[in-house]
Chains A and B, each alone.
Chain A
Amino acid sequence: MNADKKVDAMGLACPMPIVKTKKAIDELAPGQILEVLTTDKGAQNDLAGWANSTGHKLLESKEENGIFTFWIQKK
């Protein structure tokens, strides 16, 4: 998936993956897509919860070798 911006939050623990995600998405225009990389297992549920409460759309996610990748579309 093509992303307009990428956040590398690998190796960071809660709350940093979401803090960085929020910062990055604030800099995007509506409809643009953000890619987030994290190794924090807990970020999975939290990103979904955050997207849900902010209205941004979690398009897709995958896990590969302990790395979680998320694609989020700005509302």
Chain B
Amino acid sequence: MESNEQTLPVQMTPHELASIITRQEELFVLDVRNESEFKDWKIEGQKLEVVNIPYFDLLDGVEPALERIPDGKRLLVVCAKEGSSRFIAEQIAEAGRSEVHYLEGGMKQWSEHLMPVKAGDLKRGGEIYQFNRIGKGCLSYMIVSEDEAVVVDPARMVQPYIDFAGERGIRIRYVLDTHLHADHISGGRELSDRTGASYLLPPQDADEVVFPYLPLAEGQDIRVGTVHIRPIHSPGHTIGSTTMLVDEQYLLTGDILFVASIGRPDLAGKAEDWVGDLRTTLYGLYSELPGELDVLPAHFGTVAEIGRTGAVSAKLGDLFQRNPGLKLVDEQAFRQAVTEHLPPQPNAYQEIRQTNMGKMKPDEETQREMETGPNRCAVHDR
């Protein structure tokens, strides 16, 4: 006889799952969504084994799943919203398996979970935190010094930034986007509305923006506490893409340079026009910056890019040694790599751009649906 506790599955929160992935722990994931949803987008982790069996193929019993789940290994059942994963998890637990979990809120909540990780200290006092939206591969930042902060590329869900600042008695003074995003809805406006912070955008990307903003431009010196943040115009992913140099120490590269890839120039429909800009930014501007700078990008492509500290970052000099996007010395090879055989565009990317310009105002449920799936902002994403 199994004891009573073993016959009940346990809910796992998105935070617990994020911790398992960043600590590189083992987990067996049974994804019970339908095949097309699974193929489009799934949970990934270096020590995760992920198997897809739709819940509707398990209505006659969970035996086909039991055959594939290794006994004695921690199991997480996931679905779109939670209901089906709980339904299946209960039956697996009833069949006598232990350590059976289901994911709270399903993939819907997973895609919205933000996890702050300290990315480093600032030499003149302060810290920089990376907020990892691990389910979608989006990275945003809070740069804190004394009791002030700047938030860079905030996600649509702004409460985690407000809570984080509130718990530490920090005032968010500036919110900025490094470019007009095409893969996710920016939380910039809402965060600035709710905190009273100034919202800055690169003006070259904001031609069609219908709300008031402050220009983010080269030559500015954005100061919070003792920290100096200098915007550097670095076009290529978009015409206005701007890199943020933080205290000559950190380089926030937005969607221009990632740890394992480079940004794609086609999401605003102008790949051909922007190839030259992208090349000049990477092989001109960036190559002349100190190799000691810590690159902090706005995305990662695979969880393998998450380092031991839980943060996604790399030295600029190292990236010139190993990032395939920085080794395309031949101009023609570069042009081909960034314009041909690109991965599919992010889900609903045109509507997302319109929303970020303020021209579309979809309700929350629609916004959530628009953001479904991976970010796909890099040339080498698949």
Contact = CB atoms under 8 A, between A and B. Distances in A.
B164 interface: no
Contacts of A42: 80-81
Nearest to B106: A14
B87 interface: yes
B87 A46 contact: no
Nearest to B87: A15
B1 interface: no
Contacts of B80: 14, 42
Interface string B66-109: 00000000000001110110011000000000000000000000
B83 A53 contact: no
A13 B83 contact: yes
Contacts of B56: 15, 18, 22, 46, 49-50, 53
B329 interface: no
A19 B59 contact: yes
B37 A45 contact: yes
B81 A46 contact: no
Secondary structure at chain B's binding surface: helix, strand, loop or mixed? helix
B37 to A, nearest CB: 7
Interface in B44-67: 54-57, 59
Contacts of A14: 55, 79-81, 83-84
B35 interface: yes
Contacts of B37: 45
A49 B83 contact: no
B208 to A, nearest CB: 31
A13 to B, nearest CB: 5
Interface in A8-24: 13-16, 18-19, 22
Contacts of B321: none
A75 to B, nearest CB: 15
A53 B54 contact: yes
28 contacts: A13-B81, A13-B83, A14-B55, A14-B79, A14-B80, A14-B81, A14-B84, A15-B55, A15-B83, A16-B83, A18-B59, A19-B59, A19-B87, A22-B56, A22-B59, A42-B80, A42-B81, A45-B36, A46-B34, A46-B55, A46-B56, A49-B34, A49-B36, A49-B56, A50-B54, A50-B56, A53-B54, A53-B56
Interface of B: 34-37, 54-57, 59, 79-81, 83-84, 87-88
Given A15-B83, A50-B56, A53-B56, 17 more contacts: A13-B81, A14-B81, A14-B83, A14-B84, A15-B55, A15-B56, A15-B87, A15-B88, A19-B59, A19-B87, A22-B56, A45-B34, A46-B56, A49-B35, A49-B36, A49-B56, A53-B57
